[in-house]
Amino acid sequence: MANVRALSHAVQDWSAQDAALLALGQELKACGYRFTTVTPLTHRRVVARDPERGAATLEDVFGWSRLFGRTGLPDRIIALLEDAGELDTAEGLLRSKVRFSTLDRQLFVHSAYPTDQNDAVFFGPDTYRFARVIKHALKDAPALPRRVIDIGCGSGAGGLFAASLLPSDSREIVLADINPRALRYSRVNAALNEIVGVHTIESDLFAHVEGHADLIVSNPPYLVDPQRRAYRHGGGTLGTELSLRIVEQSLARLAPHGRLILYTGTPVVAGTDTFGAALSEALAGRGLSFTYEEIDPDVFGEELDHGPYRQAERIAAVALVLDAPR
């Protein structure tokens, strides 16, 4: 009950649009809505099977991003979409600008398919892998985290999922991102999942984040994106620059007994894990305890046909778990 009161107080100062988006998510929860978000290529294939099909279910509208008519959804849900500023028109029909995805017992709002906009907020298979890494890494954490920072938070899934695994008393969750839309969705997702003690900060990595953390989590973009979309572009010649910056800056922000959990991707070129090699060089001689593991050997294989990845054999998903000195 205390958490409900805290959340009610927190949303009192929200804009009408944000309040409507939260109410929409709550409506979907009440309806038992569930949806697992797939890769963009799988999404495209599924929708292409029946391109003329209109939306018939909540999953069609808020999962598969299908067009629908005004009679296709309950009036209240359409009104909430409109009040939230997330209703679009196309070909004389309607379309939701947002999707909702389930992760364990949580529900997250994020951008609709396709995520072409520069400020799109992504959620997909990487998010699920990231959550599994967090769950595994928290089982043997050196200390119970009281302050958690999620860098490049996107939908807030990493920080909010971590919060769901931790005691709620005296817990602070900081969600930081350079993208204002990501912070908006993160605030809604925190309230939707009844996570209190959440602060959202517009920041380029740690630039506007103060203090230290017992736990830092991050799932940064790790591809080279010609459009330089915030959720996708990792910087550098092979997309690993941002991930390396996060590691280097996190070292100064971890409290004693603190832990960094980083999930990212790395191109493998001529048998060499390029991010792993750069990471080893950056951490050499520092006496830090860490594990580095390949989570999935082959992700975003379609990128191998383009630009800087033409020389890569594969792109692998990897996880770094690093502990601050005790």
Owner of token pair 């296709």: 72
Instruction: Please indicate, yes or no, whether residues 99 and 169 belong to a single structural domain of this protein.
Output: no
pLDDT at 9: 45
Q: List the beta bridge partners of residue 294.
A: 318
Instruction: Please indicate, yes or no, whether residues 98 and 137 belong to a single structural domain of this protein.
Output: no
Sequence-distant (≥ 6) Cβ neighbours of residue 105 within 8 angstroms: 164
To the nearest whole percent, how much of the chain has pLDDT over 70? Answer: 96
Domain annotation covers residue 82: yes
Instruction: Please indicate, yes or no, whether residues 143 and 258 belong to a single structural domain of this protein.
Output: yes
What is the extent of the structural domain holding 255?
125-323
Which SS3 state, helix, strand or coil, does residue 108 take?
Answer: strand
Domain boundary among 83, 111, 139: 111
pLDDT at 91: 79
In whole angstroms, what is the distance from residue 115 CA to residue 126 CA? 15
Regarding beta strands 254-269 and 213-218, do their DSSP bridges make them parallel or antiparallel, or are they unpaired? parallel
Per-residue pLDDT tens over the stretch 250-303? 999 999 999 999 999 999 999 999 999 999 999 999 989 999 999 999 999 999
Say how many residues make up the chain.
326
Domain boundary among 57, 83, 111: 111
Domain annotation covers residue 117: no
- Give me the amino acid identity at 117: Q
pLDDT-derived band at 92, boundaries 50, 70, 90: confident
Instruction: Please indicate, yes or no, whether residues 184 and 255 belong to a single structural domain of this protein.
Output: yes
pLDDT at 13: 80
The residue ranking higher by pLDDT, 19 or 116, is 19
pLDDT at 150: 98
Instruction: Please indicate, yes or no, whether residues 104 and 195 belong to a single structural domain of this protein.
Output: no
pLDDT at 10: 62
Domain annotation covers residue 182: yes
pLDDT at 75: 94
pLDDT at 3: 54
Instruction: Please indicate, yes or no, whether residues 55 and 158 belong to a single structural domain of this protein.
Output: no
Instruction: Record the tokens describing residue 79, joined without a space.
Output: 């009104």
Q: What's 177's domain CATH number?
A: 3.40.50.150
**Please, are residues 115 and 231 in contact by the beta-carbon 8 Å criterion?**
yes
Indicate the helix (H) or strand (E) that contains 246.
helix 241-251
Mean pLDDT, to the nearest integer, of 153-158?
98
Instruction: Please indicate, yes or no, whether residues 82 and 134 belong to a single structural domain of this protein.
Output: no
Instruction: Please indicate, yes or no, whether residues 21 and 166 belong to a single structural domain of this protein.
Output: no
Instruction: Record the tokens describing residue 143, joined without a space.
Output: 């200390």
Per-residue pLDDT tens over the stretch 64-86? 999 999 888 999 999 999 999 99
Whole-model pTM over 0.85: yes
Average pLDDT, the chain: 93
Please count the structural domains in the chain. Answer: 2
To the nearest whole percent, how much of the chain has pLDDT over 90? Answer: 84
**Please, are residues 217 and 230 in contact by the beta-carbon 8 Å criterion?**
no
**Please, are residues 271 and 277 in contact by the beta-carbon 8 Å criterion?**
no
Domain annotation covers residue 116: no
Instruction: Record the tokens describing residue 83, joined without a space.
Output: 């009040």
- First-last CA distance in the chain: 37
Domain boundary among 87, 111, 135: 111
pLDDT-derived band at 195, boundaries 50, 70, 90: very high
Instruction: Please indicate, yes or no, whether residues 203 and 252 belong to a single structural domain of this protein.
Output: yes
Domain annotation covers residue 107: yes
Domain annotation covers residue 120: no
Ranking 74-78, 217-221, 294-298, 305-309 by mean pLDDT, the lowest is: 305-309
Ranking 16-20, 104-108, 222-226 by mean pLDDT, the lowest is: 222-226
Give the Å distances, CA to CA, from 104 to 40, 101, 107, 222, 223: 21, 10, 8, 25, 27
**Confidence check: pLDDT of 1 > 90:** no
Domain annotation covers residue 119: no
Instruction: Please indicate, yes or no, whether residues 149 and 289 belong to a single structural domain of this protein.
Output: yes
**Please, are residues 155 and 123 in contact by the beta-carbon 8 Å criterion?**
yes
Q: What is the DSSP letter of 145?
A: -
pLDDT at 113: 97
Sign of CA dihedral 48, 49, 52, 53: negative
Domain annotation covers residue 183: yes
Which SS3 state, helix, strand or coil, does residue 79 take?
Answer: helix
pLDDT at 165: 94
Instruction: Please indicate, yes or no, whether residues 188 and 245 belong to a single structural domain of this protein.
Output: yes
Mean pLDDT, to the nearest integer, of 10-32?
93
**Confidence check: pLDDT of 158 > 70:** yes
pLDDT-derived band at 170, boundaries 50, 70, 90: low
pLDDT-derived band at 223, boundaries 50, 70, 90: very high
Instruction: Please indicate, yes or no, whether residues 37 and 148 belong to a single structural domain of this protein.
Output: no
pLDDT-derived band at 148, boundaries 50, 70, 90: very high
In whole angstroms, what is the distance from residue 107 CA to residue 243 CA? 26
